[in-house]
Amino acid sequence: MPHPDLDLFGVDSEFPPKTNIPLFREKLATLSRAATPSVETKVTDQFVGHLLDLFGNVLDYIDGLEQDVFDLKVVLSTTVQHSTVIENELSSQTERISNKSQKFEFIVNSSVDWMALVNRGYTYEAANESMAAFFGKTVEQLVGRSVEKTWGTDFFEAHIRGSIDSCFEGDEIQEHLLCQLPRQRERWCEFTYTPYRNAANEITHVACIARDISARRRAENLLRDHTLYLDKVNDAIIVIGLDQKVYYWNKSAERIYGWKREHVIDKKKVDTIIPTSEKLDFILGAVREFGEWRGEMVHISKSRKEIAVDSNWMVINSHEKEEFIVITITDITEKKLLEQQFLRIQRMEGIGAVASGIAHDLNNVLSALFMSVRLLKPKCNDDKSVEILDLLDNSAKRGVNLVRQILEFARGIDGNELVISVQKVLIEIQAFLKSTFPKEISVACQVPVDLWQVVGNPTQLHQVILNLCVNSKDAMTSGGTLFLAAENMAVREKRRQGISPGIPNGNYVRLVVRDTGVGIAKSVLAKIFDPFFTTKEKGKGTGLGLSTVQTIVKNHGGFMEVKSRLNRGAEFMIYLPATPQVGGAHGVDEQLNFTAMRTLGQWRGG
């Protein structure tokens, strides 16, 4: 029978499921103290020794177990702390990923294009809201649905399966298809299939993007029957949507603006050709309110050239109740230029009306000069004085001819023409320039003795050369050299070195006026012959000199060329048709065929 003090934990002395270790240790200590006096005759000393050893071992074991439990608590506490930090970091990462996912999902769902991800089982694993709305479903209803069931077996087998299969093989597909779905009207769609690769570069899905291009197709269908006619008209015809995107662009629009049709349709907006957004907003506002707008404005071409146009904007409705704006544009740039020329002509008519009065006064002045020269000649005995008087007499006659030419030009009367010796004209002009130009400017002249003759008005020819020489003098403010030259020039296709291709074949007398002045900038070289254009200071030039020179040369059937560089001088070359007798007089085999030669009049100067 066990000793009563040994029954510490119950009848069977087994550890209960939940043992209080400190209490257990305390009871064992009490038992060891009471064991010796409690054992009498029935318990031997040997048993007591073994029992005490057992109790000692149990106490040692309990001490070790208590230390292990303490260490376990420390480890557990540290683990809990680390677990809390990891949990917080994981929560923060999850929140960031969730925010990015929400933003990406917002972008995808905001797109008007239909987007979906298809797996190898031809099932949608992801889709955006635009695609789900097109099929009348939610995104949750569309995800997990088969592509075949969604689009219909016939359409799937005919158009979709093959494209998806090719995409899984690595191809990128783009195609336009007419979609016919149950309980929906036909839609033209642009499909794009792109392979999706995982981290191992394996194609696991296909990204499908579809865009509704029905509006563009309907606009094309609206004009399809009239395309040939619309491409033949001179006016540009452009069709745009309310979003300002271009849906139609005819051939005349290509010609006027410089953009090809394929580079504009569905790729550019109408603001490309309109320089200011304020003007465009005003026009679109008027079109929306009144249904039409018409007016003149300035458009911009591909080369950034300004184009004056008369445009008409009108709203039309297609049979699907969609609104488009048809723009009819007429290029009136040439018309505006003609209007400016007409205003200049009116101004010249006013000048002509004044010129007659000025000419009368000049004739009185020149008459006094003529009388003075005739009175002074008999009283001058030395050659130098006679030479000066002859120069004054010739200059006065030239002045009379210039006044007469101004009157003829202003009244529209053609001057008389005759055969002119260009050699004689240049020699006379050289002598005049040497006596009138500043000494800082030297005048040189080179004329061959066998120079061909030309047909024209001598006074006008003098005016042409003098105008060019005066311009050269003004360009040589610090002095320089003025060079006059003339040569025979037979222009032929086989020997056109240094001659403009715009000059026809024929025999010409080429006059050259070259200076060493400041030259002409390349930016203004193309404008120097425009009426009223001048680079001189205000009050020092009318801008009519070179314009008059070019007009006279053209009226004589000739052509002009200009070569110039800044600070390198300028060179003007005039090509005047030679007379038909050049072949017999100078041994030239080829002769000009003058089929429209005007009757030569008798010219009397002075």
* Residue 298's CATH number: 3.30.450.20
Containing structural domain, residue 126: 111-212
250/239 Cα distance (integer angstroms):
9
156/201 Cα distance (integer angstroms):
27
597/560 Cα distance (integer angstroms):
21
Residues 308, 165 within the same domain: no
Residues 432, 549 within the same domain: yes
Residues 186, 278 within the same domain: no
Query: What's the pLDDT at 195?
Result: 92
342: in domain: no
| CB burial string 40-51: b at 16+ within 10 A, e below | eeeeeeeeeeeb
Whether the CB-CB separation of 279 and 297 falls below 8 Å is answered with yes
507: in domain: yes
Residue 268 DSSP one-character state: -
What's the pLDDT band for 416 if we cut at 50, 70, 90?
low
Closest by CA to 327, choosing from 368, 364, 289, 297, is 297
91: in domain: no
What's the pLDDT band for 224 if we cut at 50, 70, 90?
low
Who's near 563: CB < 8 A, 6+ residues apart?
570, 571, 573
Closest by CA to 499, choosing from 490, 219, 400, is 490
Last residue of a domain, which of 187, 212, 237? 212
410: in domain: no
Residues 508, 560 within the same domain: yes
Query: What's the pLDDT at 540?
Result: 58
Last residue of a domain, which of 296, 331, 366? 331
Please report, for residues 94, 218, 222, 322, 328, the alpha-carbon distance to residue 318 in angstroms, rounded to integers and kept in the order given: 51, 8, 7, 5, 18
Between these two residues, 417 and 116, which has the higher pLDDT value? 116
Identity at 400, one-letter amino acid code = V
What's the pLDDT band for 49 if we cut at 50, 70, 90?
low
Closest by CA to 151, choosing from 216, 105, 92, 210, is 210
95: in domain: no
443/446 Cα distance (integer angstroms):
10
- Rounded to an integer, the average pLDDT of 111-136 is 87
Compute and round to an integer the Cα radius of gyration of the chain.
Answer: 53
What's the pLDDT band for 270 if we cut at 50, 70, 90?
confident
Place of tokens 């149950």: 182
Residues 273, 192 within the same domain: no
Query: What's the pLDDT at 188?
Result: 83
* Residue 587's CATH number: 3.30.565.10
Residue 11 DSSP one-character state: T
Residues 244, 206 within the same domain: no
Q: What percent of the chain has a predicted confidence (pLDDT) above 90?
A: 8
Residues 149, 266 within the same domain: no
Residues 65, 118 within the same domain: no
Between these two residues, 479 and 589, which has the higher pLDDT value? 479
- Rounded to an integer, the average pLDDT of 527-535 is 69
Q: Give pLDDT tens digits for 90-111.
A: 777 777 766 666 666 777 777 7
Query: What's the pLDDT at 20?
Result: 56
93: in domain: no
Residues 240, 271 within the same domain: yes
pLDDT above 60: residue 37: no
Residues 50, 126 within the same domain: no
Q: Where are the alpha helices (DSSP H) in 377-454?
A: 383-411, 422-436
Residues 306, 437 within the same domain: no
- Rounded to an integer, the average pLDDT of 137-161 is 88
Residues 324, 471 within the same domain: no
pLDDT above 90: residue 512: yes
Mean model confidence pLDDT for the chain: 76
pLDDT above 70: residue 48: no
Query: What's the pLDDT at 355?
Result: 67
351: in domain: no
pLDDT above 80: residue 507: yes
Query: What's the pLDDT at 513?
Result: 92
Q: Give pLDDT tens digits for 239-264.
A: 888 888 888 888 889 989 999 988 88
Last residue of a domain, which of 185, 212, 239? 212
What's the pLDDT band for 4 if we cut at 50, 70, 90?
very low
pLDDT above 70: residue 77: yes
Tokens for 96, please give them.
């960031």
Q: Give pLDDT tens digits for 320-372.
A: 567 889 999 999 888 887 777 676 666 666 666 676 677 777 777 777 787 88
Give all strands of the β-sheet with 441-446 in edge-to-edge order: 441-446, 480-491, 506-515, 570-577, 559-564
What's the pLDDT band for 427 if we cut at 50, 70, 90?
confident
3-state secondary structure string across 455-508:
EECHHHHHHHHHHHHHHHHHHCCCCEEEEEEEEEEEEECCECCCCCCCCCCEEE
Weakest-pLDDT range from 7-11, 79-83, 474-478, 597-601:
597-601
Question: What dihedral do alpha carbons 359, 360, 363, 364 form, nearest 10°?
Answer: -140
394: in domain: no
Per the structure, the count of domains in the chain is: 4
Tokens for 219, please give them.
């606009």
